[in-house]
Amino acid sequence: MSFSDHLDNFIKQREQFGHQPNRMQKRNSYTVVDATDQSKAREAMAKEQEHATLRAEQETKQYHQRIRGRCVLPSEAQAQQRQNDTRPADPARIAYIQQLKKDLKLKKYSTE
């Protein structure tokens, strides 16, 4: 069998069974589908994570103050100082607490 005969047989088979390569092309072709709510949510989360990493990177480069063993930004330090300064210490209360401590030290608990 010559090559031309083989080629003719191949063409006849292809015409007889339909154009199979087109099916393969259709199967491998991708269609663009509108974004679903889930994919929109994923994109929004990814975008927020990117923004969070950028904010964290900028905050780590800023000046920090150490308050009670914690490094905080100056704005956070001011907010904490405002919270702590709202109620002044009552000397009568402090004296009362110290008296309670002395009383507890003087008490001896009996063990039976």
Write out the DSSP string of 24-88.
HHHHH-----PPPHHHHHHHHHHHHHHHHHHHHHHHHHS--EEETTEEE-HHHHHHHHHHHTTSP
pLDDT at 45 over 70: yes
In angstroms, the CA 93 to CA 100 distance is 11
Contact 74, 65 (CB under 8 A): yes
pLDDT at res. 25: 54
pLDDT at res. 75: 85
Return the minimum-mean-pLDDT range out of 37-41, 83-87, 93-97.
83-87
Average pLDDT, the chain: 79
In this prediction the pTM is 0.34
- Greater model confidence, 22 or 44: 44
pLDDT at res. 95: 92
* % residues pLDDT > 70 (the chain): 75
Residues 7/12/13/18 CA torsion (nearest 10 deg): 130
